[in-house]
A and B are shown apart, each in its own frame.
Chain A
Amino acid sequence: MFKIFRMHMYRVSRATSTYVLLGVLGASMFLCLILLFALYENPLTAALSISMSSTSLDFLHLSPPVVHLFFIQGSNTYLILVTIFSVIFTNCDFTKGFAKNTYSMFDKRRPLVFAKWLALVTCVTASYIVYSFLSLGLTAAAISAFESAYWTEYFVGFFVVYLCLISLVTMVFWITSLFKSPAGGMVIGILIASGMFATVELLLAALVARTFHTDFNIANYFLDYAFMSYNAGMGTLATVRTICVALAYMALALTMSVFLSDRKDVRV
């Protein structure tokens, strides 16, 4: 299994698309930084532009959790790029036919699929850590309004959002493996990452609440909605719920991807 993991890491480190996506991610970070600078160098603009509900965070002050929220969840670009990367990564050895070289060497496919998922998670984890800390560092260095506060909230948010991100990536991994072409996984992944499904889920939640006269918000149990609406100031209950939702979706998607892999013919 470790050999397959290393093989995926090798091929991804040599793929042109990896560096193209990293370039776009860098450009996106730069644009976010400019936007943040424009917002927080003018407190009046910030007050008008940034409004958040259900949170104890002070969004008028540029603290680490606010920076994290802005760069990771507020900017769909990061999520969309991670989704595109995940689809390309998952589908590449099938579309290029390389999978037949490796799949034919093993009796069982489950360890191969698990190793591939592990390689994908490793790449996304690396990008998340670098992107998060780099964006935080650049913000602290470039914007005078940055305040070193709310570090506990920052690390809680960092961890919960990471779980959601890996869960989303695992969902994309599974969805992509269902389609012959990467286009199917790409479209669904981008719809999720761009928040379009979250809008539908919000409407569904409103419909449920109106029909059953309840305060229960079903949207909180959809991964993408939970992911995008979560922020570090939402309190313990929301944090635990988001962690549970992320873990449940991740377990489901990983189980489906890994345990069903033996039953399918390999597309070559």
Chain B
Amino acid sequence: MSIIVFTDRISKAYGGKLAVNQVSIHVERGEVYGLIGRNGAGKTTLLKMLANLATPTSGSYAIYDVNGQQTPEMRSKVGVLIEDPGVFQNLSAFQNLKAKAIASGIKNDQYLNDLLSFVGLYGVGKKPVKNFSLGMRQRLGIAIAMVNEPELLLLDEPINGLDPQGIAEVRNLIHRLCVEKHISIIISSHILEELSKVANRYGIIHNGVLMAEATKEELLSRCSPRLILRTSDNNAAQLLLREIGINDFSVFDDHLEIRERALEGGAISMALAQKGIQTLEMKTEGQSLEDYYFRLTGGATYV
């Protein structure tokens, strides 16, 4: 997979205070990159810099085309929905799309109607956007971001303030964008649970600093249950585990940490007993994504 976005120790300071502090992320083509962080963590500032709406104080970033080249034309292939959808309230959904289409040099009205259909707004007619629900506005914001046929979408808190149905609609839309249109997406949110349903790679940002970057599998692995085992002979226990087909475990000073078949503690205990190895302690530990996030960021009350 080729990289579409790369940042190199990018920072942004406002009045001497660092909103983003030396963040280096890389996003691969076709993936949905979830940027997790509390309010004020620096997610929006990072996206604004990638969208060319804010200038980095230091560091750099690059957006690459399909050939891995950094070209000025690639900038025109970026769609943004940062904070609120940028729409003219008195214009209709179609007219808002048309304004962006003119700026993008797109003359095909049918394409705009198709976009409205794609986001489920085809039937709204000439209704001014000011009369739209929040969910409809968010979907229109995504449609506007897609007018210039982007290869990269930057979505900042697109589910913020939506009701459960609105959240589901936007989530499905993001999924379809990725699967049907093959668009790479960077999506930020402070709602961890929702982000975990759409993203396949994550960057955890806290106080402007990137705390961790992981794929969904890596993250799940870090959050999956583990069996903590302390025995009378840990070396013999290691050999036994391999004999019964368990290879994913780590050895610590006084215990083993087993990640594979971690919920089969009873069977493992029996096997150990049959070999004359005494089990001194056995417990299952696990953490949710939220626990993992709290542990990384030192706890929070509103993530």
**Interface positions of A (Cβ within 8 A of B):** 3-4, 6-7, 10-11, 14-16, 92-93, 96-107, 263, 265-266, 268
A98/B75 contact (C-beta < 8 A), A3-B105, A15-B90 known: no
Specify which of B53, B84, B91 is in contact with A11 (CB 8 Å cutoff): B91
Q: Give the distance in Å from the alpha carbon of A16 to the alpha carbon of B87 in the complex.
A: 15
Q: Give the distance in Å from the alpha carbon of A99 to the alpha carbon of B55 in the complex.
A: 16
Is there contact, CB below 8 Å, between A104 and B103? no
List 25 A–B pairs whose Cβ atoms lie within 8 Å, in order of A's numbering: A3-B104, A3-B105, A7-B99, A10-B99, A11-B88, A14-B88, A14-B90, A14-B91, A16-B90, A93-B88, A96-B89, A98-B88, A98-B96, A99-B86, A100-B53, A101-B80, A104-B51, A104-B79, A105-B76, A105-B104, A107-B52, A107-B72, A266-B54, A268-B48, A268-B83
A104/B52 contact (C-beta < 8 A), A11-B91, A14-B95, A92-B88 known: yes
Is there contact, CB below 8 Å, between B84 and A97? yes
Residues in chain B near residue A97, CB distance under 8 A: 83-87
Q: Is B32 an interface residue (CB 8 A)?
A: no
Q: Give the distance in Å from the alpha carbon of A137 to the alpha carbon of B42 in the complex.
A: 60
Residues in chain A near residue B90, CB distance under 8 A: 14-16
Q: Give the distance in Å from the alpha carbon of A96 to the alpha carbon of B91 in the complex.
A: 11
Residues in chain A near residue B75, CB distance under 8 A: 104-107
Specify which of B52, B79, B87, B98 is in contact with A96 (CB 8 Å cutoff): B87
B 44-86 contacts with A by CB, 8 A: 48, 51-55, 72, 75-76, 78-80, 82-86
Is there contact, CB below 8 Å, between B78 and A104? yes
Is there contact, CB below 8 Å, between B52 and A106? yes
Q: Give the distance in Å from the alpha carbon of A178 to the alpha carbon of B53 in the complex.
A: 16
CB distance from B125 to the nearest CB of A (A): 15
Residues in chain A near residue B182, CB distance under 8 A: none
CB distance from A190 to the nearest CB of B (A): 23
Residues in chain B near residue A265, CB distance under 8 A: 48, 53-55
Q: Is B268 an interface residue (CB 8 A)?
A: no
Residues in chain B near residue A4, CB distance under 8 A: 103
Residues in chain B near residue A102, CB distance under 8 A: 100, 103
Q: Give the distance in Å from the alpha carbon of A263 to the alpha carbon of B98 in the complex.
A: 29
Q: Give the distance in Å from the alpha carbon of A268 to the alpha carbon of B52 in the complex.
A: 12
B 93-130 contacts with A by CB, 8 A: 95-96, 98-100, 102-105
Residues in chain A near residue B96, CB distance under 8 A: 98
A10, A11, A105, A106 — most chain B CB neighbours (10 Å): A105
Q: Give the distance in Å from the alpha carbon of A209 to the alpha carbon of B83 in the complex.
A: 55
Q: Give the distance in Å from the alpha carbon of A96 to the alpha carbon of B75 in the complex.
A: 22
Q: Give the distance in Å from the alpha carbon of A3 to the alpha carbon of B82 in the complex.
A: 23
Q: Is B138 an interface residue (CB 8 A)?
A: no
A268/B87 contact (C-beta < 8 A), A101-B145, A105-B103 known: no
Is there contact, CB below 8 Å, between A105 and B53? no
Q: Give the distance in Å from the alpha carbon of A162 to the alpha carbon of B105 in the complex.
A: 32
Is there contact, CB below 8 Å, between B86 and A101? yes
Specify which of A7, A98, A100, A263 is in contact with B82 (CB 8 Å cutoff): A100
Q: Is B189 an interface residue (CB 8 A)?
A: no
Q: Give the distance in Å from the alpha carbon of A100 to the alpha carbon of B87 in the complex.
A: 10
CB distance from A99 to the nearest CB of B (A): 7
Beyond the given pairs A100-B82, A105-B75, A107-B52, 8 more chain A to chain B contacts, judged by CB atoms under 8 angstroms and listed by A's residue number, are A3-B103, A15-B88, A96-B89, A97-B83, A97-B86, A104-B53, A104-B78, A105-B148
Specify which of A3, A6, A100 is in contact with B51 (CB 8 Å cutoff): A100
CB distance from A113 to the nearest CB of B (A): 14
Q: Give the distance in Å from the alpha carbon of A14 to the alpha carbon of B91 in the complex.
A: 7
Q: Is B205 an interface residue (CB 8 A)?
A: no
Residues in chain A near residue B144, CB distance under 8 A: 101
Residues in chain B near residue A15, CB distance under 8 A: 88, 90-91
Residues in chain B near residue A7, CB distance under 8 A: 99-100, 102-103
Residues in chain A near residue B52, CB distance under 8 A: 103-104, 106-107
Q: Give the distance in Å from the alpha carbon of A96 to the alpha carbon of B141 in the complex.
A: 12
CB distance from A2 to the nearest CB of B (A): 9
Closest B residue to A96 using CB positions: B88
CB distance from B3 to the nearest CB of A (A): 19
CB distance from B111 to the nearest CB of A (A): 16
